[in-house]
Amino acid sequence: MKEFVLRARKAKTDAGINLDQLPKEGKMDSVCASISNALWISGDVRKDTIIHVVLEGPTSGPKTISFFGNEIKGLRHDERSIATYIVDALKRSACLQLNEENHVRAGIKISKKSFERLLWELSQKHTQAGKKRQVLVLDKDGKDIRGVALDKDVVVVFGSPEGLPPKTENFFKEIKAEKVSIGPNMLFAAHCPIIIHNELDRRGL
């Protein structure tokens, strides 16, 4: 399973998101494009992929919305449609207590879970072969991905336009995450899932 985790530090968490102004809603356009690029290929959905977006903006962050490629049916992949699913999810999260979750629709759930808690849980899962899962943190100054052995069962963490906060460094060390670069230029968050999938596809993983 390929699992992406996007930490969206300013993305709004109240359901009053203006669908006509997604960039002004804590860069919600970037969140929606990242979801689309992680899950959809031409004419199909990647069934072996999950993306979790951790929204940390006002007014009730953190909220984690998870999209499961193997369960999604009949969803559209344009940014505006994905934003409507996010609004729907946020409406169903008003009463959630810490770490509780709600089903939203086939292939989408929402939880009141922090980035660190989510990532810690994912990093503790084992692969089918009984190995600890590989956790990659995307960082322009990390090791070139082309020299890194990749697992088919991988967790990939990346930041929103605000980047990943430096204070998470110690946490990444604790869970033995590897910092990996996907190229010499600083890319948009939404580019990251496509490049990672391409690396995995080319290696037959």
Q: Which residues bind ligand SAM (CB under 6 A)?
A: 138-140, 158-159, 161, 163-164, 181-183, 185-189, 192
Task: Pick the closer one to ligand SAM by CB: 42 or 185.
Answer: 185
At closest approach, how far in Å is the CB of 137 from ligand SAM? Answer: 7
Query: Minimum Å distance from CB 27 to ligand SAM?
Result: 9
The least CB distance from residue 43 to ligand SAM, in Å, is: 27
Q: Among all residues, whose Cβ is closest to ligand SAM?
A: 163
Report DSSP letters for 96-141, one per residue. PPTT-EEEEETTEEEE---HHHHHHHHHH-B-TTSPBPEEEEEEEE
Q: Give the residues across from 64 on adjacent strands.
A: 54, 111
Nearer to ligand SAM, 51 or 104 (CB): 51
Q: Is 101 or 163 the residue whose CB approaches ligand SAM more closely?
A: 163
Is residue 137 within 8 Å of 177, Cβ to Cβ? yes
| Minimum distance from residue 190 beta carbon to ligand SAM (Å) | 9
Give the C-alpha separation, 159 to 187, whole Å.
Answer: 11
Backbone angles phi, psi at 26, to 5 degrees: 75, 40
What gap in Å lies between CA 152 and CA 77, rounded to an integer? Answer: 24
